Structure 1
Amino acid sequence: MTTSEKLIPGIGSVPKLTPWLTGLLLGILVLSIAGSCVFLILFQNRIYPGIKIDDVPIGGLTPAEAKQLLAQQLPKPTTRQVTLSVDDIKLASSSAELGLFREHNQSLAQAYEIGRVGFPLKRLWVLTKASFIPLEFHTQLEYDEAAVVSFVSEFEKLVNLVGDEPTAKLKYSGSPTSLVIDPGKPGREIVLNDTVRLVLTQVNSDQPIEARVASTSTVLNKEQITTAQERAGKLIGKRLILRADNTRLELNDQKLVSLLTFPEGFNQEIMDSLLKAWKDIVSRPAQNAEFEFNEKTLVVSKFIPHRKGLELDQDQTTQLIKNTLNDFNAKENIGNPIGIHNQSNIELELPVNTARPKIALSDTNNLGINEQIGFGESEYDHSIPNRIFNVSLTTNRISDVIVPPGKEFSFNKTLGEVSAKTGFRSAYVIKDGWTQLGDGGGVCQVSTTLFRAVLDAGLEITHRLPHSYRVSYYELNARPGIDATVYAGNIDLRFINDTNHHVLIRGTADNENLYMKMEIYGTDDGRTTEITDHEVWGYVSPPPPEYYPDPLLPAGVKKQVDWAVAGVKTKFTHVIKNAKGEITSEKTYHSNYLPWAAKYLVGE
């Protein structure tokens, strides 16, 4: 073994590097590091060598310099026609007008990242490879998006059509022949965002671009029109009455039909409009009771019953109406031969949230006038102004009357004389076989409404007479036969307060909505009432029209002064039960309405 070799235990001998070889290796390492540093310094913020974009060398340039070079050396995009089409509608523009340009930024960013991302050995390998085989990136042709949006928006004006949704309209309430189904009108509109994306992605295409179009309305086919007629037809003659406390809202058949959409569903816009109006009507704060009266004479000077605070639940109300309309459509219409205001009423309670008042009626008196025990209502639409005035006057004179226990109330005695001298106006009354002007027309509207309230309260009715002829007002919201006529003398409405406490009669006439109600306040003793076995029969057609000469009319002129009404017979049974559920009274009320001929005055 020579002196230049040294043994390492377990390995054997390893040749010892000569000083000159060690120095060579160290020199190479130092030069490599120094060269790398110089390279990195030279190409700091510059693109590394061996990189091209669209065959233009950009190595050694900053991204900004490279972008400027590309703009100088790359050719401008070729101008081409861009066409949008829908059916036979076309609109053309040029690629130049759409701002066609070469998008450099993305390719420059990719070029700049070469040699700057990834593991060091990988970066070195990529740079070494690029020095022998150049890396090449390509620019993309793109449109200016704002210009494309403007182009598509112009095309919208040519293509978009305002459509009409199918609707049903009932021109006359209760008249199936006046139901009109509008099948709808086609509507369409450009789907702007989708069409803009189509244009932007087909920048290299010479073919016309089919714009994306969406339908904006439904058009019914023949079968759907028939179904719509059947669906809307089932609502004709129907009326939905909604109540919250004593507030009453109504949807007649015309309004119900308008809520439908086709081929299915409901018009939420109309529904929301109704609910907004109803919320203002129904919702109210709690009201404290105020009651002032003379304890000796029982003359009332002030009476304000307590009221619960109410807030309409709009979501539940919407669902309630939809469910009711679905129920209407699930049933078949059943004809009724009565021939006057043939309405099928559905009454429902509105869903409301309540708040209790601080002062109740029971806190204001010791007469037992604590709560509402009876309620009646009627309508008087189409009344002439004088009749409306008389209804209001009569209501005020009957209202706020206290009836002690065991005492009989007389409508005629309470109201007093009905004449022009006592403030009544001339309105239509039935007299001597004619509908003619007479003092007090409209008084029976109030007696009929009070009759209904007394029935509801279950008080003992001692005298009631029906009208001789059917009066349309009293069948607007009730079945035939639930009316009471009054006139001077014994044509009266009377009842006895057969409770152990005083009762108070309270009337309200709403002349704006032509609706009135009568309320009876007292103490609820647990009695309940029910109207059963209501029947209508004996239909008699109106007699032939009657003509009467009138010298005040020009010769040959005919003026109708009365309208034909069919005659019918009716009956219903009024059942009263006590708190134990035992029947205490069961009374049947009969009415025999004579037919009424149309009457004409004829000029001589």
Structure 2
Amino acid sequence: MINNLMLTELTENQTNYQKIWLLKLAIIFFVLAIFIVCGFLLFEKKYQYKIYPGIWLNNYDLSNKTVNEARQLIDQQINELNQKGITFTYQNNENIALSTIKSEDMLQYINFDINQAINQAIDFGRDNNFFINFKNKISAILFKKKIILTVNINQAEIEKILRENFLRFEQPAQDATLIINQNNSSDNIQFQIAQEKLGKIIDYKKGIDELTSELSKLKFQPIKLQTETQYPIIFAKDCLNAESQANSILTLAPILFKYDKLNWTINKNQLANWLLLETNPDKTSSEKIIISLDPEKTKDFLINKVATKIDQTPLNAKFQIQNNKVIEFQTNHDGIKLNVETTYNNLKDYINNKNEKVDLAVEKQLSDISADNINDFGIKEIIGTGESNFTGSPTNRRHNIKTGTNAVNGLLIKPNEEFSLVKALGKIDKTTGYLPELVIKKNKTVPEYGGGLCQVGTTMFRTALASGLPITARTSHSYRVSYYEPAGTDATIYDPWPDLKFINDTEHYILIQTRIENDKLFFDFWGTKDGRITTKTQPTIYNIIKPKPTKIIETLDLPVGKKKCTEKAHNGADSYFDYKVVYPNNEIKNKRFSSHYVPWQAVCLLGIEKIKLK
């Protein structure tokens, strides 16, 4: 009995002991949970408007930085690049410093998508899923999270500049070629085959790919260009019958082209100089190499000798508003155009198949806009107006603004058409009425036609916004310019890129009407209002950076001692404004237009005396 009581008492003591420990553990876990929750809340409060720890952009730590602080860090690196440029080297010879920006209205070769990188950094760890967020934050702290900076590069333009500077170091491969025996008279032309040669060329694509990769990491070290062996395509050993084929083709000369009352003749000497070796497109043939026509020489003849006599450019009707009525002030007419590619192929068929004649491929070019259905265009009222101020513009700039304005005045934009301002302006040179202004390119002063057309681009951009049209392509200037204030509402254009593009998503035509009043440029879009409502905020300007001291460039183009400043100093800054369109069906579209302006030092030309060598 006593033993049973003692056993029961012992069991109760053990049970009480276990309860006490369980209670202690519960309290400990509760306290820990409170600490964790409080720590988590404090952590989230601290980083509410900051980037979480462990977020890096290559070697740059973005942790604990606000959006503006992160932007300033990135901008600082990019501004350094803008001032120094990028150096490409070959065989330890520095040959070119490629700046990412040019003077006003010039092409931007490199564009950093800073907003995308910063958004990626600030959004990391802020998804809708709590557990994924928690895992990502811990992972970033322990292992780092690398953010990628997207870089958009105009590869074609950069490669063009590199080729201009490094072409002298290349030795392209040479195919076996068909050459004319120079000792022969024009009546007795004979051919021979020149041997092929291996070549060595620079791998520009690899260099530009390396540039893209380095810039995305904000690394601005010199890019070393590498060479690669280039092999010929045509070998002399495969050209055993080429000479006899060429002689056979010469029997077709003279070749006569006719169109209407015009005619052109290709004599035997011309034809002989157009002949070349070409790989046989017929892979089943035993002859690997055949005789064909040099596309460059043949098309040059067709373009400069034939097309110039035949081509007639189609002309669209242009309209203007008088007494609230649409009237035509330029009548449309269709055009004709020589299809050079088809004619070239016809000529190839002629010499290969010995056809009876060779046809010129002349095609009719229809005008897009005529006055036949003017009443159906739906042009009733102004749907949007934009303006800009060009006070202080020099004479040539004013002339170019007027010329560009006249080029787009009266144009019609069809429903659902994507309007391209660069395309609408057309050719920009002396022949179309533009005047040159001195600009700096690679430390040289050269005339550039069309300086000031960004006034047209900026005004067109503002008009499209006021009309509530979707903007599909727009690039801000490299630096702030007084003509385009307020900052962030400008649009730069340059043929062929950057361009200003927007879509006419109304159901009617839009007529562009332009006017210049004193120092102000106005564009009016006429069409039919559909009830859409547009609003936009005033630009927010921040992150202002002072420029470097004035840069002096010596030149022989000015009198000795005379100074002419071609670039004014501009503060660097960032800007954005928000754009909102509410459609009649209550659909809402919001878009933020962001702009980055680098600090731009003043640049002045100083006339110097030419040094005379004794």
Q: For this structure pair, what is the TM-score category when the shorter chain's length is used for normalisation?
A: 0.3 to 0.5
- What's the TM-score, normalizing by structure 2? 0.38
- What's the TM-score, normalizing by structure 1? 0.39
Structure showing greater Rg: 1
